[in-house]
Structure 1
Amino acid sequence: MPLTTSRAQAVTKPVPSSRVVSKPIPQAQAEDPREFQLGQIRRRYKPRERKSEDSTILEFDLKPSDPDFPFEMDALACSLVVPQVYPKEPPSLRIRNSDIPRGFTINVERGFDGLVEARTPSMTLLALMGALDKNLEAFLSEKKADTVKLVANADKRHLENLPVRAVNPEVVSSMSKGKAIQAPIPVQTPRPAPVYYSKVQKEEAQTKRNSETRQLEARLGRLPLYKKSGDGIAYTLPIEPRKRGELPVHLRSVKTIVLFVPLLYPLQNCRITLEGVKPEDANATEAAFEERAKKEKETTLMGHVNYMAQNMHILAKTPLKVEVAEKPVVQEPEPVEEVEAEEAPPIAGVVDEERGHIFHIPRPPEWAVEDEEESEESDGSRYSYDSKDFEGCPTDEESEGAQETPEPLDTTERGTALSFPFLELYGIELLETTVLNLTVKCERCRDTMDITGLRNGVKKTESCKKCATVLGVTFRRDLIHTNATRAGFLDLEGCVPVDMLPSTFLPTCSTCSEPFPSPGVVAHAANTITINCRHCHASMTLKLTAPKFLRITSAAMPASGPRRKRDMLHLHPGEALPLNGRCTHYAKSYRWFRFSCCNKVYSCDRCHDEKEEHPNERAERMVCGWCSREQAFRKEDCRFCGRGLVRKRGGGFWEGGKGTRDKAAMSRKDPRKYKRRGGGALAKKKD
């Protein structure tokens, strides 16, 4: 009988209820379910507990477990009220967050009440709080519940009899006997209603935010000054303005910015703050960036950062927009019957007879309390002068002000920047380079020499030992701290920097802000120095790394010195070089080389060393010895004619037809060396 398959279940009859095993209930829960469930809440949330006559109040913070929670809320402050007769009476919840509007907290409380009504008998208080955590986003996304605000009526009866100040003094004196004039009552303008977004808008915004933040982390995440906050909103990004020299003086030290990306970005605009700058100095730049972020909605976060780096000097000069407050609507007071009063005596000097539209307000008597002698002395000192004022001598105030404002450092970005990318400072607030020692290479002959004793703003010149070219170096110092690793700039003439020699640095203690005594400490790359402050004896550690030289602008070549003669080889493409490019040192090499150290052509490295005084460097180009065409370096053959440039050493073997046929020169391992040996002589004898 063939087997047939069927999709019907094997058990067609329902299982009797007597065979169903229910979930076991702990004995403690069965005896006292209220105390058992309260113990679960205590172990899970560690609440602050208060007891009243008929209930127990547990206060704790419920942190959302959803990692993509869209609202800017750290935790939900809950007050769980559990009646004494629980579970016969349901529990209730009260939200205590002051930063959440009352209408939204009512939605959360109503949502909790709905969960309580729909719960099963086996659902505990801990399970209710878990359900609230899962549905918290839905409750907060609902429309704000209507609320009523009760305002107490202020008792102003004690202010009715107070006189009201007027513009003209005559009116005040005349109205003091009658009823006071009622002041106008300003009417407050209503606040703008909060903006709500749909669920689809939030999902699209979340997708775009995740994409742009990933791009930001991929581009800038490996830089040394990059930092990301724990909540993923603030990003500390290193920035290098394109035209730092055109920035205001107080913004030239900016190394990093903090980019704030809201959770509802791009529905809410991003903004920035400048680190290491006073808020009043950075207001214009930050406001200009925020204004552009509002207009350019389609620009990515990386685009905003790039625009900031390229146009920071323009944003810093954007004037701040002064927000003019709207004038409140004034309700006209009810007309009051004027009370006739006696005419007050006219005040001398109140009205100008010639110009009736001008009113002179008299000087209040309380301002003229000082003695006559003091006033005379003050008048005399006010108009006294010295002949030195006319000679151009500065006054005391000007001299003090000049001492308090030192000249800013010349940190214009030009020349070659000297920095320490992986510098480590511990206990050091500020680091200055007082004496810099360098090793430079001459641009003409490639010879190296040491230039020592470089100080801030002092140009030092030396002559090359081989070609007598004048080498000039000017060091412009920059201050080093935790967020700035650049030591300054080098203005070079006729040379390029190679390495930094042991130099002198002056650290400043971060505990007492006192500088280390002169001349400072001597440090060099890959060296760690630990010293103690001479004032507070705090430990200071300086660890220098390999210096980095970044060429920003081209250095000027010296005007003096002979010009280099152009190398005339008189090459004729298609014709062979003399001796096919061979020399006395390498007889099997059919080419010439152009060495990158001096850009000259020689047959080999030995020929170069015989005629030049500097060591040779690798040749990147060559000239074929068969066709005289210059090309990039190749190992074996010419790119144009295909001829071999290196002759291989031949052997005694046949080598596919290229070997020798002379049996005397053949190798004894070759079988042809002994084949048919002497056969010709025997044939002649037979004949």
Structure 2
Amino acid sequence: MELQRLLHNFKPITINGIPVNSLSKPVNEFLLDHVMDKKNQESLYISFLMKPSDPNFPYELDFLKVSLAIPARYPGRSEVMPSITVLNEDIPRGFSVNVEIGFQQIVATAFKNRETKKNKKAKKESTPVPESKQSEDNDEEEADKIEMVGGNDLGAMLLTLDMYLEKFLAMEKKDTIKIVKFIKKQQGSSEKEKEKEEKKKLKKDKATKAKKEKSTTHAEPAAPVATSKTLQKRDKEIAKMKQRMRLNSVTLFKETSHNTIFKMSIPFKEENFTIEIENMEEIVIENLNVKLTVPKEYLSNAKKGLKLELDMSNAYNLRLLSSIKDKNLKLVFGKLINNINNNFTHLGLEVAKINVTVEKQESESQVGANTGSVSTNGDVTSYWSITSQLNFFVENFEKFLSPVGDFSKWLELNTMLNKSFQ
């Protein structure tokens, strides 16, 4: 019922990453099957464009692009709350975070209102609060009070977000973003056992990598095939990247027949980035010291995208890692580093597909112009330069900390929504 009321006001674009017009069933049937499937423990993701209803809305924002996550156990448990992710590329990430946090406040208000109604029905007596203290609490509540629009269900939460959108966007931009991670203890497994398992995995990965490197050394394949045109464009991109990032200590680390690898320091645009993990100390990152790999087949092979990894030979990174004394925290931070590396590789491959397609379209367009023929394909996707990929990484750094599956879903929704808006 809540979903039906929600979709009455907001038309979905995708459901669980699938475009609505590609669903095997009508939207209502698809959602009913999802909800009635008791074995399904996955969250429901619905993305849509939300047009600000205020005719005097002061910002140049035609639509707020939103992905709404509804946990499988909602609304049965009070601690299971829906959340949103803002996907607008034209909204600085700090302001998007304000909107997402604002929505959390709206959801908390809705849940509190539900609880209040339950308590009123039960007519439970509570311990009287002194008048002076009650007055102080009321004043604080009134200052931050959120008035719900049309009830306390999902649709009301989004309608309330629409009403408070100007207020959330007007707040001071969040320069320091905190990522909250929950550490779940495995039943019947001690911390020492988990640490041993992690070491075994690292040892196995290291052995596999060494084996690959050895086989590569003994039988190095032929140099990649790339046209002089794509190589020239690649070199120009590298030159532009070095020029634009000249203050970021860009240095050539290694040149091989397959790749060019750079070392660089990427600062955050505003302040340091803080990672906050529940019940543990904060990790403050001042800048990102990374290795960037640019394949020789970049722009000519859809399977050869940019790769980026944190440079663990860098003195700053080593100091940061050694400053973490708690073993659990060190393990979690190690996982976050792996997420960063894997997610950028995923981004690089997705971008490689786009860039190779663009290169092919430009080439065909040029051939058509030379031969006098006309291309009928007008669907030219935006090209991503090396610099734009690095900027995207810094702007959305907290997303790159997510598990690969979550990042993949976010990137897909982000791309799809922005494409549908063009």
TM (norm. structure 2) is 0.28
Higher fraction of helix: 2
Structure with larger Rg: 1
Comparing both chains, which one has the higher relative contact order based on Cα–Cα distances under 8 Å and sequence gaps of 6 or more?
Answer: 2
